Chains A and B, each alone.
Chain A
Amino acid sequence: MRQRTRKTLLGIAFLLPVLVMVGIFFIYPLIMVVIMSFQKWQVLGGSEFVGLKNYADAITDNEFWKTLWNTIIYSAIVTPMIFVPAIFLAVVLKRTSRTTKFFRTVFFLPYAISFVAASYMWKWIYSDTYGLLNYLLNLLGMLDQQINWLGSTWSARIMVSIMVAWKTLGFSMVILIAGLQGISPSLYEAAKSDGATKWQEFRYITFPLLRPTIVLALIISVAGSFKAFDHFYIMTHGGPLKTTETIVMYINKVAFEYYNIGLGSAISVVFIGILLVISYLQLKAGGLSNE
């Protein structure tokens, strides 16, 4: 019994630093946001509870739905842009050798750059008058006038997504490689002796066994794209005509530009709810809800 208590205590001691950090930087702010979402929150004291008013304001706010919609469209574009190449690269680079190590590093490298730095870099690449992309296309004689890549809605969404895919697919690739390496080679040998083609191996062995890893990587990636802020803030400022303004940009605007902390908090809470639902649906779709 004493042995067990000691073990438990030791376990708690090891967990404590993390629990404290999570508590201070996640749980406490989360609770505060929920409390503030029911308040007309005043900077210099005198905040009062207003019940569900902020929530009513949030869901009747056109801008909220518009920015949420912008975010959904962006996520729908960027997710396959990350995943199709990431799965391909993971399959190609799953065996460890000097060459694959080199290429893994190359594809992972952009992930180490901050979003802010990457956004400025790509903004320059996309610039119509002095950008690299137009310069190259011009050299190849493919332009009859400069293209303003971030100037129209769909082009801006796609071009920003390309940047994000370039930057983050390395991370998804690494997770997927780890998953692939967990699949026993004997399965492939057995399949081979049964005369399976490469596609059949992928379809009936790799894909089903990789599913938990894919779901994990998807959740991280989709949640990440729903939280998009820096790259749109820097590359498009939400333009043209606010069509690339994301929900997080809008929350920031309401809370810290319009000083409406209560409404900003309510939108944040609704947004957290939406993220939870999406993550749950993804788990369910991946058949992992019971694990």
Chain B
Amino acid sequence: MKKMYLVLLVSLVAIFSLTSSIFAAKTLVMWDQRPETEQIMEMFNAKMEAEGRDVRAKLEIIPYDQMVSKFMAALSAGKAPDLYGLDIVQFPYFTSIGAFEDITGWAKNLPFFEELPKGMMRPGIKDDRIYGLPYQIDLSVLLWNKNMFVEAGLDPNQSPKTWYELVEMGKKLTVDKNGDGIIDQWGFNLAGGGAGAYMFWFMPFVWGNGGNMFDEQGNVTLNSYETVEALRFWHDLIYEYKIAPVSSIQYGSGDRYNLFVSGKLAMFLGGNFNITSLRKDAPDIDFGVALIPSNRGEHATFGGGTLIGITSQSKSIDEAKEFMEFIYSDEALIEAFAPNLMLIPRPSLYDNKYYKEIPQMEEFGEFLKYAVTPYSLNYNEIYDPVLYYFESVFLNKMDAESAVEKCTEKIKSLTQK
């Protein structure tokens, strides 16, 4: 009797493993931070099914604050996913340790390769080889409340283009409404609350003044008159022109957003990611989006978001490439990204039915051309000096010149280590 059970059990196991190996699809695992990718997967899986192929894609959502630690753990255990949409600024380090597959030849032949935002390609390249392509995109921009512009006697369709205009408009928009000596409505806010915020929103001021943090080769070029001037300008927005509260140095993006929504802030530094929530939280506010004002240089916006790459531990590289190509297809990007108001990495697709209904979104196709992403293997380490020295200037504890000098020295010592 016992023997019979055993035979039954063994044969059951055999049948199961056999059938599962016959029907088992090749499953591509992708890590990403955005749930919208799920929609793309469903479309891809439906397509595979229709074609009678046994390839399937599966999404695992990785929370933003765990994207590095989880990837490190997975890599060291040999269990990395096939594809990873990783934060663009973290990409260079992982490329340098060989975590991603070289996709140069394949990528260059993609029909849409040429239209991908140029300023965001660098972090995916090492020694002229390509390891990752821009996928989800976040750009830093200026948002302004048109209703408040009208109240202040300004043209609601003209946002400040230059630093000078920012100050002039900001003064008109900074108001003490009830005369109690406390400002009730601020014209502008600095973007503080961490080094990431300075990189995302302050660096466009440096670029817009002709300065830079690194040159093409990754050498530190922060120590310039252009940076000093930009730092001084932010400092003066608080102490000289008085159009931003000193506390905004500590504000996170959520604080600025809350102020804007509650009608206490006229212009704020935000991004495309504010549009969906603004339309929901403050349907009455008519707002515009524009490039961050510039001074002596070209307008610039920080190209944040993710690059997508195939990891070197993937065992299905051809299928992963196929899936990656599908991700960038007209169909996938327009039907999964556009309705959720996410920025599409291909400017030629901005003329779609979803963006048409939202004038702010259409603007971003143009903004993509101005996207810049700094490249450094030690990106996270430059956060500390950036935070410390920039904040010292904004808190009035150090003059801009010596702050820039010391900050540059510190970054140099970190990157040459």
Contacts and interface: CB of A to CB of B under 8 A. Distances in A.
A253 B378 CA distance: 13
Given A127-B255, A148-B250, A258-B380, A43 B75 contact: yes
B68 A256 contact: yes
A35 to B, nearest CB: 13
Interface stretch (B46-54, B257-265, B300-308, B338-346): B257-265
Interface stretch (A139-147, A192-200, A278-286): A139-147
Contacts of B264: 129-130
Interface in B70-104: 72, 75-76, 93, 97-99
Contacts of A146: 182, 245, 247
B76 A144 contact: no
Interface stretch (B28-36, B329-337, B354-362, B390-398): B390-398
Contacts, number: 84
A127 B189 CA distance: 14
B246 A148 contact: yes
B247 A143 contact: no
A273 interface: no
Contacts of B99: 43-44
Contacts of A259: 68, 72, 93, 380
Interface stretch (B266-274, B365-373, B381-389): B381-389
A280 B178 CA distance: 59
B306 to A, nearest CB: 17
A142 to B, nearest CB: 12
A257 B380 contact: yes
A151 B93 CA distance: 34
Scoring A146, A148, A255, A259 by chain B CB atoms within 10 A of each residue's CB, the highest score goes to: A259
Contact of A144 (B68, B181, B245, B252): B181
A44 B250 contact: no
Given A146-B247, A258-B380, A237 B259 contact: no
A43 B246 contact: no
A43 B72 contact: yes
A196 B292 CA distance: 74
A222 B380 CA distance: 31
A241 B97 contact: no
A182 interface: no
B297 interface: no
A241 B389 CA distance: 8
Contact of A258 (B252, B381, B387, B388): B381
Nearest to B261: A130
A257 B68 contact: yes
A193 B250 CA distance: 60
B68 A45 contact: no
Nearest to B73: A43
Given A144-B181, A150-B250, A256-B68, A44 B76 contact: yes
Contacts of A256: 68-69, 72
A241 B397 contact: yes
Contacts of B213: none
Contacts of B381: 257-258
Interface in B157-211: 181-182, 186, 193-194
B259 A129 contact: yes
A77 to B, nearest CB: 19
Contacts of B68: 256-257, 259
Nearest to A156: B250
A42 interface: yes
B247 A129 contact: yes
A212 interface: no
Contacts of A261: 72
B193 A237 contact: yes
A241 B93 contact: no
Contacts of A145: 181-182
A128 interface: yes
A236 interface: yes
Contact of B249 (A42, A44, A151, A253): A151
A261 B76 CA distance: 12
A11 B193 CA distance: 53
A259 B377 CA distance: 11
Given A42-B97, A241-B391, A151 B262 contact: no
Contacts of B252: 237
Contacts of B182: 138, 143-146
Contacts of B75: 43-44
Contacts of A130: 258-259, 262, 264
A63 B381 CA distance: 13
B343 to A, nearest CB: 26
Central interface residue in A42, A43, A255, by most chain B CB within 10 Å = A43
Pick the 10 closest A-B CB pairs, nearest first: A148-B247, A257-B380, A128-B247, A256-B69, A237-B194, A43-B75, A43-B72, A43-B76, A258-B381, A256-B68
Interface of A: 42-45, 63, 127-130, 138, 143-146, 148, 150-151, 236-237, 239-242, 253, 255-259, 261
Interface of B: 68-69, 72, 75-76, 93, 97-99, 181-182, 186, 193-194, 245-247, 249-250, 252, 255, 258-259, 262, 264, 378, 380-381, 383-384, 387-388, 391-392, 395, 397
